[in-house]
Amino acid sequence: MSNLISFSLGNAVTLVAAAAFLIGSIVNASARKPIREEFVRYGFPWWWCWVTALLEFTTAVLLVLRPTFTLGVALGVCIMTAAIFAVVRARDFRHIPPPAVFLLLLIIAALVQFS
């Protein structure tokens, strides 16, 4: 029974992390003016929102496929670490929570899957 609970918890946490990245990809892919302006403020070209959307979508897919889960975690950690560095570099500290939460979800998913 313990393995069943652990396995189900692992799946749930992984799905939450994947859903977060999927939602992030949709928001960035929308390329609304405030999104584009935010990327420019952080030092990226305005169209970088589409690159980020593609990377976040790829992360979501990799997370839900068991053979590529580890690759999904690695890609997601890279994306969120870069986002946190960009926010800190721009001194826009109020925008740290979203990438920090995404990063935390990835860490929890990896810990649960590999425990």
How far lies 61's CA from each of 40, 49, 70, 111, in Å? 27, 18, 12, 19
For 67, which DSSP code? Answer: G
pLDDT exceeds 80 at position 94: yes
Q: What is the pLDDT of residues 39-79, one digit of tens each?
A: 999 999 999 999 999 999 999 999 999 899 999 999 999 99
What is the rounded distance in angstroms from the CA atom of residue 1 to the CA atom of residue 92?
46
What pLDDT, on a 0 to 100 scale, did the predictor assign at position 66? 87
Q: Answer yes or no: is pLDDT of 8 > 80.
A: no
CA pair distance 93, 90, nearest whole angstrom: 8
Give the pLDDT of residue 2: 47
- The Cβ-side half-sphere exposure at 13, using a 13 Å CA radius, reads 21
Of the candidate ranges 24-28, 50-54, 56-60, 110-114, the one whose mean pLDDT is the lowest: 110-114
Q: What is the residue extent of each domain of the chain?
A: 2-113
Q: How confident is the model at residue 7 (pLDDT cuts 50, 70, 90)?
A: low
8-state DSSP, 94: G
